[in-house]
Structure formats: structure tokens, C-alpha cells
Amino acid sequence: MKKDPGSASGNADVSIVEKKYAAVSGMLALKLILVSLLLGIGMFIAAVFLESVIAFFVGALLVVASVIAGCGLVAVAPNSARAMLLFGDYRGSIKDSGFFWVNPFYSKKKISLRVRNFETGSLMSPEKKDAAGQIVAQKMRTGGRPSKVNDRDGNPIDISAVVVWKVVDTAEALFEVDDYEDFVRVQSEAALRNLASRHPYDSEDHEVSLRGSTTEVCEQLEHDIQERLHKAGVQVIEARISHLAYSQEIAAAMLQRQQASAVVAARSRIVEGAVGMVKMALDQLGDENIVELDDESRAKMVSDLLVVLCGDRSAQPVISAGGR
């Protein structure tokens, strides 16, 4: 445990470093406890037959000591840990799975080391009321509908992300934050909102956007969340956007905008192709001396070809009979 040299008493905690606790084998301790308990019971029986007060007190002492020592037995499951505290003082953590014996007066805080995931989003929990009808608890929980936030251009969007994480430092997870699970959820939500406000939903000039630069955005999101959770002893394994869309109030307008952009892009491609085909036709007619065209005839031919190539409907030929 590091101390703050600038404090007057020298007892202000700056941070708590995780350390390994060397626990005793639980099976060996269990055998000794059972032997002590049997001896205590045997001393009780001997005290009855011998009417010995000393044997009675020795037996009682052995039984009480066996019961107290039995409280020090602890089993640690795989991907779990136990943090040992003696009257509020951190003594170390057991991260190896197995059966152990520790000081029976230790408080054994259980921490899960499993890989966990959740989806961001905000939803109010149901109101809790007391007997008088007063609201006593109501807090925000995550995992509901996607969060609504404005992107860099001010457009309201709905966004949510899946965060995969695990605890890597039991001391920081327990003592640096009040509730590390809630801390992970709240900070992930804040990081996602901050990221969404820094980038546009979509971009046409090849800059980083939420929809067009998925890999870069997810890497930034993972980095931002990890930076916020560093002091909580949590490692972010992966962070991916799971839902991204315009909010309902502007979704229809944005859809029309995208459709208009698609129509303009398609028309531009059609016109570009039509101009190329007209140029090719004129060059080929001139190179092979098929027909001599003056400026007026050339302009009329270009106009007719563009109308045919760029029109929405099939062209209908008009046959000239040679008369007026």
C-alpha cells in the first residue's frame, strides 16, 4: 500500500497494489482441525468419567479452537479470486483455484475473474416505494434501448456497443471504486457518447465516420474505455458498435437524402458514360469516313444520342418518309 508523503499523518492512501497471498493447503488444515475436534470431544468424555475440571476446560478449548479454525477454510473456484482483509487492512489475494486455509479472522471478498460482456444503453429501473408511497430508490441501469446522442454534425443518432471485459487487478477493483461492475457500465456509456459526438454519422470526403470507418471507430472506443477503466483494475478485451442508426425523428428525412444522393451519383455515372459513347461514335464515324457531318448535324446527333442514352424510357424511333 502506497502512502502519500505530503499528508500530515502519512496515512492517506494513494493506491493499493495487488499482492499474492500465500495460503496454506486446505486439506492439511482440515485434517488437523478434525483431529483437534475429536481430541476435544474425547476430553469431554474423559472429563465426565474422571470428573476432571481440567479435562473439561481443555476439551472445550479444543472444540472452540477447532470451530474457529474451521472458519478459515476457503474454496476458490476457477476464474475466481478471494481478497483477504484483516479488520479493513488488505493482506493479499488468492487467485489460484483450490482448497486453502487462511486466518479465520480474515474477511474473504469474492471477485469473479471471468470474461464478461454487456451492451450499453440506458433504461430507468422500476421505482421502489416504501409503505408510505415515497420513492426510495430509482437508478439508471444499462442494457436497455440504444442511447440517443448527437453526432459531430448535430444529427441525433441511436447508438449502442458491446463491451467485453474482465478483472485483472483484484485490489484496484475492490478498493479504488465503489462498485466496479457499475463503474464499468457507466464509464463505457460515457466513452461511447463522447466518441459519437466527435465523429459524423456519415462522411463523403473520406474522413473517419461512425458508419464508414467501423474498424477505426471501434479501436478508438476500446482505447477510450480502457483509459477510463485503468484505475478500476479492469481490462477491456473488445468493444464493438452493435447498433447505429439515425433517430426516429430524422430517419425519414435522412433516408430521402441518401436516396437523392444515390440518384445523383447514378445520373452522374450515366451522363459520364453517355458522353463517352457519343464521343466514340463521332470519332468512329469520322475515322471511317462513313458520313460527313457539319456543325449543325453534329450538334443534332449529339443531342439525339444524349436523349436516347440518358432517358428513363426506351427511345421510340421516328421514320422519315422524305416528304414534308
Structure confidence by residue, pLDDT tens digits, 23-32: 889 899 999 9
Using CA atoms, how far apart are residues 177 and 278, in angstroms rounded to an integer?
Answer: 72
Using alpha carbons, list the distances in angstroms from residue 227 to 44, 67, 192, 220, 233.
62, 46, 13, 11, 11
103-129 pLDDT tens trace: 999 999 999 899 999 888 754 444 555
Is 35 domain-assigned? yes
- The b-or-e profile of 174-194 (16+ CB within 10 A means b, else e) is bbbbeebbebbbbbbbebbbe
- The highest-confidence range among 57-61, 126-130, 273-277, by mean pLDDT, is 57-61
**Domain check: are 241 and 133 in the same one?**
yes
**Domain check: are 46 and 167 in the same one?**
no
Mean pLDDT over residues 41-69, rounded?
87
The total domain count for the chain is: 3
CB 72 within 8 A of CB 106: yes
**Domain check: are 284 and 165 in the same one?**
no
pLDDT higher for 277 or 10? Answer: 277
**Domain check: are 206 and 189 in the same one?**
yes
61-98 pLDDT tens trace: 999 999 999 999 999 999 899 999 998 889 999 999 89
pTM (two decimals):
0.66
pLDDT higher for 252 or 216? Answer: 216
For the chain, the average pLDDT equals 79
Is 320 domain-assigned? no
Cell 446527333 maps to which residue?
301
Is 324 domain-assigned? no
**Domain check: are 144 and 219 in the same one?**
yes
Strands (E) across the chain are located at: 24-25, 73-76, 80-86, 89-94, 98-101, 107-112, 116-119, 122-124, 128-129, 135-137, 140-142, 147-150, 156-167, 234-246
Using CA atoms, how far apart are residues 74 and 213, in angstroms rounded to an integer?
Answer: 49
Strands (E) across 175-315 are located at: 234-246
**Domain check: are 68 and 183 in the same one?**
no
**Domain check: are 208 and 271 in the same one?**
no
Is 261 domain-assigned? yes
**Which residue type sits at 180?**
Y
Q: What is the enclosing helix (H) or strand (E) of 211?
A: none
Is 16 domain-assigned? no
User: What pLDDT, on a 0 to 100 scale, did the predictor assign at position 101?
Assistant: 92
Using CA atoms, how far apart are residues 78 and 103, in angstroms rounded to an integer?
Answer: 22
Chosen domain end from 207, 224, 246: 246
User: What pLDDT, on a 0 to 100 scale, did the predictor assign at position 12?
Assistant: 46
Using CA atoms, how far apart are residues 161 and 143, in angstroms rounded to an integer?
Answer: 10
Is 77 domain-assigned? yes
Is 82 domain-assigned? yes
User: What pLDDT, on a 0 to 100 scale, did the predictor assign at position 10?
Assistant: 45
Helix axes 26-50, 53-70, angle to 10 degrees: 160
Mean pLDDT over residues 178-194, rounded?
91
Using CA atoms, how far apart are residues 150 and 157, in angstroms rounded to an integer?
Answer: 6
Mean pLDDT over residues 3-11, rounded?
44
Mean pLDDT over residues 171-187, rounded?
90
Does residue 130 surpass a pLDDT of 80?
A: no
Chosen domain end from 109, 127, 157: 109
Q: What angle do CA 73, 74, 75 make, to 5 degrees?
A: 135
Q: Phi-psi region for residue 103, left (φ > 0), alpha (ψ -120 to 50) or beta?
A: beta
CB 84 within 8 A of CB 19: no
**Which residue type sits at 241?**
I
Percentage of the residues of the chain whose pLDDT score is greater than 70: 72
The boundaries of the domain holding residue 262 are: 251-310
Cell numbers standing for residue 215: 474498424
**Domain check: are 192 and 273 in the same one?**
no
**Domain check: are 165 and 221 in the same one?**
yes
Chosen domain end from 66, 92, 109: 109
DSSP string, 64-122: HHHHHHHTTEEEE-TTEEEEEEETTEEEEEE-S-EEEE--TT-EEEEEE-S-EEEE--E
Is 14 domain-assigned? no
